Amino acid sequence: MMTQEIQQINDNSFINDCAHGRALIEKEKPVKFSFDNIVKNPTVFHQKADRKNRRLLPFANGEIISTHAHYKYVRAQVLPLVEYLNRDFQKSLINRFCEVFNEFEFLRAYKDLTTIVNPVTDVLKLCTFEDLTLLLDDVKRQDLADSVAVHCKHQFDNFTKTAMRLGFSFDEFIIKSYDLLVELTAFHKIKPPYNNKGKTPLTPEQCESGILRFLDGEYWQDKFDLIAKRTNEHVAIALGKVRKKYSPYVSKGALRDYKQQQDNSKAYLEMMDVVNTETGAKQPLAELVALGSANPEKRRIELMVRCRGLEDIATKEGKEAVFLTFTAPSKYHKNSHKWNLSSPRDTSDYLCTMWAQLRAHLARLEVDYNGVRVSEPHCDATPHWHILLFVEPEKRDLLINVCRKYATAEDEEELWVSWKKYQVAVKNKKNKASRAHWYSPRFVAEIIDHEKGSATGYIAKYISKNINGSKMVGMVDDEAEIQIDESAQRVTAWASLWSIRQFQFFGAASVSVWRECRRAKDPFENKDMELVRQAADKGGWQEFTENMSKAKLVLVYEDSDETNDYNETITRVKGVRLRDLVEVVRLESFELQKRSLSLSWSPVINCTHQNSEQSNNWTLSDKDKNNLIKMGFDGGSLNFLLSGNAVFIRGQKFEVVNGQLISN
């Protein structure tokens, strides 16, 4: 589409004249410059007086120097190219356009702009929204979600009448209703609830919960919001706004949204208490969350303990450590001319599929291994993998060869250039070449020498830089060339946005059982189970794994009497089980309760004009005010609340009662 527009511009004499600074406009119609025109229309001599600086967008600083008529034409041609981009991107592109326009005139500036915007146009074609303004309008997305839910309810009601007339059984009615709603909403390209790709038929209970989701506007809004976030980030990648020395790993807007989300989560934790239903004892939810794996530092320590335990087991069994790096083909990278518009999510799916095929091949060859995988982004947000594996020495080369085969299988021809360089390097006696040179852009294998350092120490930096940068204070991320702590925050924002699993262990004991055993306060009665608990309590992953191989503990779940909004039974972990022996770890039950916020209020008597009555207003500290802002208050709602009125924020009612802020 853009190519056709450019061709039309090249054929238009008016635009060609603009390119040489000769465009003259009368009544918004192109007038080709010539001395004949000057004679026939003397008013053209006064066109220069109309040339001045004009802004294309009110919020962009860039200005073009043109006549009024020319300015209107430029706006009509340029603004549609950027109308579906957010304000920051519009501002950047329009400012660049103005610079090129003032130096080279319209044609050069337009070509430059379309070269940048063309990939964005292709990315937007992948979006499921027919109305692309939904990408930038939260209210419109909410309205769409509500309308989709209403449409689903209307169709469901109609089908209910049909099913009653045809005499369907309840189970048959529920299953067919679910299939109908899946078909009706398929054009949104959203994976339906309980989607299992047809592997097993869905139960009536699952279909019922799926139907309730289809009828819920909030369900659709969450889905549409995720589409908008990922599409906007994909657009940022296409524009080159995610790159080294500008905004590595994630765009500035995505990072800002992630920080806001973290602040909102923190504010929610601070306003909630965990209450023991039997004793009534309360504990702040934020303090309890900080004690678990949701705490980044706790998570990092746990990962390091598990890695160290795997290494100790491998050393005891005589295994060798191999460090592998997998990189996707060029077409998955934005900084390559072969880029096929793949998003980080697409690249992650490719790596997961490749790894599944690789593992199946190793299983057929009976290659036994275990280890840990770390997924991290390049500066352009394309993910790549680092994998630490422990394998028997006699099968090490076989494992490496199989991994290399699958890593280079797709688009192998692009590695031929590296192969030719390798052949030339072989002939150079001074610089000995390695055969690994030709496939190193896609696959690197390093055998870890224990005399030079431990395997855990080798992967430690990859774990730290992808969580919180702990133990690396003051160090710089070599790839992004920014401080490690800032890099870690950007990486976690990237993983959150694209739903990419950063760490995965394989061939290891269950970490869920490990955590449950560490939670247990009392010893287990069974001897084998107690050995597992003691090992976990001491933090010894090696001993825990060895004891788990003798006594394979599994989690025990308990169905509660409660159901969620979609009529699904809420299942909670109860304890651990060894065959028929069950050890209940969670003896107490808890529930969440909103905390009544006691803020620092000081009553002040304010008087309006003399005909009005006095009214009690309230003031509060800056700290309390910031807490309220994090909860969703703005200046207007704060003033309204402080004047003694009730305010509704995110479905909750807030009001001041006897100097306390009460929420219902």
Out of 110, 406, 422, 458, the active site residue is: 458
What is the SS3 assignment for 490?
helix
Residue type, 441: P
Residue 254 vs residues 87, 223, 494: alpha-carbon distances, Å: 14, 17, 8
> Does an H or E element contain 287, and which?
helix 285-290
- Mention every residue, 6+ apart, whose C-beta is less than 8 A from residue 614: 605, 606, 607
In this structure, what DSSP letter does residue 184 have?
A: H
Write phi, then psi, for 433 (nearest 5 degrees). Answer: -95, 150
Q: Torsions phi, psi of 185, nearest 5?
A: -100, 10
* Residue whose C-alpha is closest to residue 70's, from 40, 96, 102, 41: 102
458 is catalytic: yes
DSSP state at residue 56: S
Beta strand pairing call for 590-594 and 320-326: unpaired
CA angle in degrees (0–180, nearest 5) for 545-546-551:
90
From 190, 217, 204, select the one nearest 127 (Cα to Cα). 190
462 catalytic, yes or no?
yes
Helical packing angle, 344-364 and 396-407, nearest 10°: 140
Gap between the Cα atoms of 51 and 46, Å rounded = 10
Does residue 280 sit in helix, strand or coil?
Answer: coil
**Upper half-sphere CA count for residue 411 (Cβ side, 13 Å):** 14
Two tokens, residue 424: 């030339």
H/E run at residue 554? strand 554-563
| C-alpha distance across the termini of the chain, in Å | 54
The catalytic position among 110, 332, 406, 462 is 462
Beta strand ranges found along 585-658 (DSSP E): 590-594, 602-606, 615-619, 647-649, 652-657
| DSSP per residue, 111-176 | HHHHHHHHHHHHHHHT-S-SSGGGGT-HHHHHHHHHHHHHHHHHHHHHHHHHHHHHT--HHHHHHH
**Is the torsion defined by CA of 529, 308, 466, 230 positive or negative?**
negative
Sign of the CA dihedral with 533 first, then 539, 541, and 543 last: negative
Q: Which residues are catalytic?
A: 458, 462
